[in-house]
Chains A and B, each alone.
Chain A
Amino acid sequence: MGDALGWVEGLSIANELRTSRWGYASVNAAHILGISLLVGAVVPLNLRLLGLWAQIPLPALARILVPTAAGGLALAACAGALLFSVRAQEYADLEIFQAKLLLIGLATASAVYLHLREGLLLAEGSSSRQRVHAAISLACWLAALVCGRFIGFSMP
């Protein structure tokens, strides 16, 4: 594990980012853009699944918000991997970072499961499965966001 993290820190892109000013800042900005797209899509979609805005057709909403959330997650994950590479060992040792990865894993698994069962656009009818997913998703993504921000305040 330590070897793998050392290898990541030794990558040329990691070395580049470690010393660059605007490169590092840009990757940071991309990470935030990804998070804002993800959370900005996931929160209204989950509130709809919990019963808010019931008059708005779910498939129409899902057609916009599901790809937005997925795209945001992909961007945040790519930029996040680059930020991680700069101090891989330190981040990996951080409990709050481990908690964040666990929360992201849970929320993503819950979304994949729901869409496997109900399709990408989600069946109309507000099933209890949808509500359970919405509760898990809301709690996990918001907690992951908080954990992520806290990393900057708890480095060794």
Chain B
Amino acid sequence: MKQTIIKFLCISLLAIAFVQVSGPAAAHHGWSWTTGGNIDLTGTIQEARLGNPHGVLKVDVNGEMWTVEVGQPWRNERAGLKDGDLAEGVEIRVIGEPSADANEKRVKAERLYLGGREFVLYPRRD
């Protein structure tokens, strides 16, 4: 009996470890999934999905579709963004950290530019 239980617990832990290793590279919480360096992209917003737990834009950059992670409502608001600023068809320049997985076209924005106006989402990051 005791051995069965121990075996069950070990298999469960292995299953958890497996999920962790094989889990999707996509991520949004924190910065552990990014490269640490910044990239600079300019494109047109194709889709904006804003709100908690965080906002996501689809941006067409010279024919490549990038996923741009922006802030939650309070962070976007603090940066000076108004409702409707991040909308379909808007030209946007993004400076932020890309995913460490080079195959993934995903960037977490630190700063945005809309028509020459700067919006800083993370003031203490360069």
Contacts and interface: CB of A to CB of B under 8 A. Distances in A.
Interface residues of B, number: 28
A128 B51 contact: no
Contact of B53 (A138, A140, A142, A152): A152
A131 B12 contact: no
Contact of B5 (A50, A142, A147): A50
Contact of B33 (A99, A147, A153): A153
B1 interface: yes
A13 to B, nearest CB: 13
Interface residues of A, number: 30
Nearest to A136: B8
Query: Chain A interface mostly helix, strand, loop or mixed?
Result: helix
A138 B32 CA distance: 29
A135 interface: yes
A156 B26 contact: yes
A92 interface: no
A154 B9 contact: no
Contacts of B4: 135
B51 A19 contact: yes
Interface string B24-49: 10111110110000000000000000
A43 interface: no
Interface string A85-120: 011000000001001000000000000000000000
A154 B52 contact: no
A124 to B, nearest CB: 18
B100 to A, nearest CB: 13
Given A96-B19, A131-B1, A139 B26 contact: no
A99 B22 CA distance: 14
Interface of A: 17-21, 24, 50, 86-87, 96, 99, 128, 131-132, 134-136, 138-140, 142-143, 146-147, 150, 152-156
Interface of B: 1-2, 4-5, 8-9, 12-13, 15-16, 19-20, 23-24, 26-30, 32-33, 51-54, 72-74
